[in-house]
Amino acid sequence: GRLGDPRAVSPLIAALEGTAARADTLIALGQVGSTEAVDPILGVVDDEAPLVRLHAFLALGRIGDERGLDAVLAGLEDPVDYVRAAAAEAIGELGSERAVAPLATALDDESRRVRVAALFALTWIPSEDVVPHLSKALDDEDWEIRIYAAEALEKRGHATR
């Protein structure tokens, strides 16, 4: 995986089936970054193991193929907060403007981890449509999120209160 050798994709895809090392396999597939892995990864985004779902979303983000966007967006509804946070991170890596509204909704998540991931994901989307949502995060109950939001707005050339 780390070497980025595309010859590793086929054996890694085979390892997704019935192995205890699914999460490690997904990490490796994400590191290789081949779009050939997208469809098999999409096949495990609903896995019963949260760790597998988490690494499936992260791998889809690292690969950067838009075919993974809908699955990753659905990951924002996962019952496990660290999986939702991974989905938000992956959405940011995909950088799609289609993700602005779902990420804005994630800014209201009960989990700080998810709110932070959604905030950072919004900063990676090259659209001015994110600005009102970054501004809204200035009112978050968590002071660090307010600071991150202010920094993100300033980097975009927008004054904060």
- To 10 degrees, the CA torsion angle through 69, 145, 133, 42? 10
Residues 8, 155: Cα–Cα separation, whole Å: 39
pLDDT score, position 21: 77
pTM to 2 decimals?
A: 0.85
Read off the amino acid at residue 53.
R
Torsion 105-102-42-24 (CA) sign: negative
pLDDT score, position 148: 93
pLDDT score, position 159: 75
Residues 101, 152: Cα–Cα separation, whole Å: 17
- Contact assessment for residue 84 and residue 105, using Cβ atoms and an 8 Å cutoff: no
Q: DSSP class of residue 34?
A: -
Residues 131, 18: Cα–Cα separation, whole Å: 44
pLDDT score, position 19: 46
Residue 110's CB: how many other CB atoms inside 10 A? Answer: 7
φ, ψ dihedrals at 46, nearest 5°: -105, 20
* Residue spans of the chain under pLDDT 70: 1-4, 12-20, 161
